[in-house]
């Protein structure tokens, strides 16, 4: 009854009977997989064309009166076409690979040599027919057709999809059980994939007789997998994959120890020392499950203290001693290995802190930006901690590589104020945090109030910004400090934690203007400006110039004094000025006129030249009977104190450095008296 009288040309193509999708999926990069399923209710007849059934009435026009499609076939677009018939659904499905990825609308055109009695009931196990697949490009409306294929439905009956009944899991394996409606099923295959990946892993073909059970081994602990099964009966037509079962492998002990860093801080008011210990959350691949918390133990001598926390930091008060610290993570299955550290709390240790931190909002996230002086130490990582002040559960930790200077914090609740801290980490040592408060509406809860000059030199201007903790009136993405002169302008991003900002390489004796701008989403807001003029010379320059000059003058002075002395000493001997001595005075201005009192110089007594003491000349003048003047070329130490005291001169005594006076010089003194 199935054989009609139609004269459709029959081209029998080879059907790829095995339909396990995977073989087709491997070529996904170049081909797109097409699938078309039809049931009896989708099929319509074509009026006068008694031997044709179509899915869309418009397809009737495409068949000529003799039932042959009047267009060219395009078999390269229907690669590896495979079709099957599912008995209990009475559905006919074909799958093929299409070269391009364009969207197409596909339909079947079914025909038979003789008339079809009912299109609705043509899909039954005893039926056979010819069919063509028509594919219409939805954009270009170009129609392409497959070869005409002939099919006997009984030969392409597919095993029904199996049903997974249970999946039991351990930490590394899954025990999968399934059933099939078809008792004649002899072979099955299982495939599984991690939920976070796309590619499936297939098991070998399993011979199943009594039990439909298989154990998948070597899986990751605490990972969610998706599993499905397909089976096939004797005739060899594989079923479709069963619906996927999702299951999680159980937890195992954490595999790795947490990475630990610390810093020592001194409380200036109380003088107490605190040891801050920070650690990094275990990687999900090492955690083996859900980390429930961390245990930190601090041991000094034999005294041991342990703290359990779900946070990633802890503060321990310490004294100046050595401490052993261990940190371990634990989940339901057990503990991780320990991370061990020995810390000497004798001297304070910390990595230098982040220099500036600014937070702005970006959508529903907070964007952090900071600066760090990498010349001091190479930071391996930055740890970021954020915590809502009213909802302590809203917050967390994040680590970023040491070469980054920004981070994005998501999961931020609007209307909540967050305290955000950034720690710099260098191996097992870290620095104290730098913190700001921020929310989604305002960004950083700080406002720049003003700025003032700290110092001006001929090439450098240093400015200090003054900040205030408040809700700013505008949301500033960042503040920029700018210096503008005739020949140059420079920019700096300013941060609340950076006390001073400097501009270098300025020109001396030049007028500059400093500005502060706040960058907002809608543009710039100007905060303040200031005029400044660089000096021609710096204080240092002046010092540098003047000191050598002063030294030179001083040196010259000293030199000239020394020279003068030396000259006096060795070349121009002192000659006693007789005018200064009493005796000389007397000799030079001898009062010839007879006064009432006559001064007599007894010459024979005056000079007694002692040959043994050539240098010492004793000059004795007797102005009156008991008045003595003693002169000595070398000083008064020749005369005894007693003598001096006993014979007190009535006239002031002058001591002059005298050269040796020989007897010839006696002429100098007039002896006319």
Ligand X SMILES: *[C@@H]1O[C@H](CO)[C@@H](O)[C@H](O)[C@H]1NC(C)=O
The residues of the shown chain that bind ligand X, judged by CB under 6 A, are 23-24, 27, 31, 79-80, 97, 166, 168, 175, 177, 213, 215, 377-378
Half-sphere exposure (CA, 13 Å, Cβ side) for 14?
Answer: 4
Question: Is 367 in a helix, a strand, or coil?
Answer: strand
Question: Is 60 in a helix, a strand, or coil?
Answer: helix
In this structure, what are the phi and psi dihedrals at residue 498, rounded to the nearest 5 degrees?
A: -90, 110
User: How far apart are the C-alpha atoms of 192 and 218, rounded to whole Å?
Assistant: 12
Task: Kindly tell me which of 63 and 149 has the beta carbon lying closer to ligand X.
Answer: 149
Question: Is 153 in a helix, a strand, or coil?
Answer: helix
30 close to 94: Cβ distance less than 8 angstroms: no
Tell the smallest beta-carbon distance from residue 353 to ligand X (Å): 16
Residue 246: C-alpha distances to residues 223, 252, 525 (Å): 10, 19, 55
Tell the smallest beta-carbon distance from residue 246 to ligand X (Å): 17
Tell the smallest beta-carbon distance from residue 123 to ligand X (Å): 26
Tell the smallest beta-carbon distance from residue 155 to ligand X (Å): 19
Tell the smallest beta-carbon distance from residue 347 to ligand X (Å): 20
User: How far apart are the C-alpha atoms of 415 and 330, rounded to whole Å?
Assistant: 34
Give the DSSP per-residue string, 550-563: HHHHHHHHHHHHHH
Sheet of 607-608, strands arranged across = 607-608, 618-622, 628-631
Task: Kindly tell me which of 23 and 114 has the beta carbon lying closer to ligand X.
Answer: 23
Task: Kindly tell me which of 96 and 503 has the beta carbon lying closer to ligand X.
Answer: 96
Using alpha carbons only, how large is the chain's radius of gyration in Å? 56
Residue 443 neighbours by CB distance under 10 Å: 23
Q: Which pair of tokens denotes residue 255? A: 């595999």
Task: Kindly tell me which of 28 and 648 has the beta carbon lying closer to ligand X.
Answer: 28
Tell the smallest beta-carbon distance from residue 143 to ligand X (Å): 22
User: Measuring CA to CA, which residue among 425, 432, 394 is closest to residue 258?
Assistant: 425
Task: Kindly tell me which of 109 and 144 has the beta carbon lying closer to ligand X.
Answer: 144
301 close to 342: Cβ distance less than 8 angstroms: no
User: Measuring CA to CA, which residue among 109, 110, 129, 102 is closest to residue 34?
Assistant: 102
Tell the smallest beta-carbon distance from residue 215 to ligand X (Å): 6
Widest pairwise Cα distance in the chain = 191
| CA 547 to chain CA centroid, nearest Å | 48
Question: Is 95 in a helix, a strand, or coil?
Answer: strand
Q: Which pair of tokens denotes residue 386? A: 């954020």
Tell the smallest beta-carbon distance from residue 369 to ligand X (Å): 22
User: Measuring CA to CA, which residue among 546, 526, 650, 668 is closest to residue 603?
Assistant: 668
53 close to 47: Cβ distance less than 8 angstroms: no
Task: Kindly tell me which of 30 and 347 has the beta carbon lying closer to ligand X.
Answer: 30
DSSP secondary-structure letter at 562?
H
Task: Kindly tell me which of 213 and 364 has the beta carbon lying closer to ligand X.
Answer: 213
Tell the smallest beta-carbon distance from residue 97 to ligand X (Å): 4
In this structure, what are the phi and psi dihedrals at residue 156, rounded to the nearest 5 degrees?
A: -115, 25
Task: Kindly tell me which of 396 and 402 has the beta carbon lying closer to ligand X.
Answer: 402
Tell the smallest beta-carbon distance from residue 541 to ligand X (Å): 33
129 close to 2: Cβ distance less than 8 angstroms: yes
Q: Is the dihedral of CA 40, 42, 46, 52 positive or negative?
A: negative
User: How far apart are the C-alpha atoms of 406 and 402, rounded to whole Å?
Assistant: 10
Task: Kindly tell me which of 166 and 640 has the beta carbon lying closer to ligand X.
Answer: 166
> Tokens 């996904």 correspond to what residue?
28
Task: Kindly tell me which of 57 and 378 has the beta carbon lying closer to ligand X.
Answer: 378
Task: Kindly tell me which of 315 and 403 has the beta carbon lying closer to ligand X.
Answer: 403
Give the DSSP per-residue string, 110-135: EE-SBPPS-STT--STT-EEEEEEEE
Tell the smallest beta-carbon distance from residue 426 to ligand X (Å): 9
Task: Kindly tell me which of 15 and 294 has the beta carbon lying closer to ligand X.
Answer: 15
User: How far apart are the C-alpha atoms of 455 and 453, rounded to whole Å?
Assistant: 6
Task: Kindly tell me which of 24 and 329 has the beta carbon lying closer to ligand X.
Answer: 24
User: How far apart are the C-alpha atoms of 274 and 296, rounded to whole Å?
Assistant: 15
Task: Kindly tell me which of 4 and 431 has the beta carbon lying closer to ligand X.
Answer: 431
Q: Which pair of tokens denotes residue 418? A: 């967050």
Task: Kindly tell me which of 118 and 378 has the beta carbon lying closer to ligand X.
Answer: 378
Give the DSSP per-residue string, 585-599: HHHHT---S--SS--
Tell the smallest beta-carbon distance from residue 167 to ligand X (Å): 9
């Amino acid at each position: 009854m199935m054989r009609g009288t139609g004269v459709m040309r029959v081209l029998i193509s080879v059907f790829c009977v095995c339909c396990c999708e995977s073989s087709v999926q491997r070529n996904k990069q170049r081909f797109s997989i097409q699938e078309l399923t039809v049931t009896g209710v989708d099929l319509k007849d074509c009026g006068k064309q008694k031997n044709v059934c179509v899915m869309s009435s418009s397809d009737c026009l495409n068949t000529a009166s003799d039932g042959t499609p009047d267009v060219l076939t395009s078999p390269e677009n229907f690669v590896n076409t495979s079709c099957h018939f599912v008995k209990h659904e009475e559905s006919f499905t074909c799958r093929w690979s299409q070269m391009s990825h364009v969207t197409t609308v596909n339909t079947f055109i079914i025909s038979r040599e003789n008339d079809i009695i009912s299109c609705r009931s043509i899909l039954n196990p005893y039926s056979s027919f010819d069919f063509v697949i028509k594919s219409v490009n939805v954009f270009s409306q170009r129609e392409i057709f497959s070869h005409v294929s002939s099919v006997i439905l009984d030969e392409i009956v597919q095993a029904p999809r199996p049903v997974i009944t249970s999946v039991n899991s351990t930490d590394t394996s899954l025990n999968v059980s399934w059933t099939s409606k078809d008792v004649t099923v002899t072979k099955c295959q299982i495939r599984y994939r991690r939920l976070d990946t796309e590619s499936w892993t297939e098991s070998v073909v399993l011979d199943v007789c009594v039990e439909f059970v298989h154990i998948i081994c070597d899986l990751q602990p605490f990972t969610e997998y998706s599993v499905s099964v397909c089976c096939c009966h004797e005739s060899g037509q594989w079923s479709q994959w069963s619906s996927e079962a999702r299951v999680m492998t159980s937890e195992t002990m954490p595999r790795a120890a947490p990475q630990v860093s610390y810093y020592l801080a001194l409380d200036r008011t109380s003088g107490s020392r605190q040891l801050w210990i920070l650690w990094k959350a275990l990687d999900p691949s090492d955690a083996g499950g859900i980390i429930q918390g961390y245990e930190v133990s601090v041991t000094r001598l034999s005294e041991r203290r342990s703290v359990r926390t779900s946070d990633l930091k802890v503060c321990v008060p310490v004294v100046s001693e050595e401490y052993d610290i261990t940190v371990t993570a634990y989940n339901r299955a057990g503990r991780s290995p320990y991370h061990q550290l020995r810390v000497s709390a004798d001297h304070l240790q910390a990595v230098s802190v982040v220099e500036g931190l600014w937070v702005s909002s970006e959508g529903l996230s907070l964007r952090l930006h900071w600066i760090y002086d990498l010349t001091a130490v190479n930071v391996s990582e930055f740890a970021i901690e954020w915590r809502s002040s009213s909802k302590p559960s809203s917050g967390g930790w994040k680590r970023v590589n040491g070469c980054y200077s920004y981070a994005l914090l998501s999961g931020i609740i609007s209307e909540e104020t967050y305290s955000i801290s950034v720690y710099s980490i260098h191996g097992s040592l870290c620095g104290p945090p730098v913190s700001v408060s921020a929310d989604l509406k305002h960004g950083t809860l700080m406002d720049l109030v003003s700025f003032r000059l700290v110092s001006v030199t001929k090439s450098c201007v240093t400015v200090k910004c003054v900040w205030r903790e408040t809700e700013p009136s505008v949301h500033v993405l960042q503040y920029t400090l700018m210096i503008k002169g005739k020949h140059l302008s420079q920019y700096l991003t300013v941060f609340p934690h950076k006390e001073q900002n400097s501009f270098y390489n300025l020109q001396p004796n030049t007028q500059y203007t400093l500005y502060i701008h706040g960058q907002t989403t809608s543009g710039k807001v100007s905060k303040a400006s200031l005029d400044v003029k660089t000096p021609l010379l710096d204080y240092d320059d002046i010092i540098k110039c003047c000191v050598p000059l002063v030294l030179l003058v001083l040196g010259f002075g000293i030199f000239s004094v020394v020279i003068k002395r030396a000259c006096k000493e060795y070349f121009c001997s002192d000659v006693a000025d007789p005018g200064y001595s009493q005796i000389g005075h007397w000799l030079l201005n001898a009062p010839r006129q007879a006064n009432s009192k006559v001064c007599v110089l007894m010459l024979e007594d005056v000079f007694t030249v002692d040959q043994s003491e050539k240098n010492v000349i004793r000059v004795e003048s007797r102005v009156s009977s008991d008045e003595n003047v003693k002169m000595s070329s070398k000083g008064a130490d020749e005369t005894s104190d007693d003598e001096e005291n006993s014979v007190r001169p009535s006239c002031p005594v002058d001591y002059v450095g005298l050269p040796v006076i020989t007897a010839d010089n006696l002429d100098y003194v007039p002896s006319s008296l």
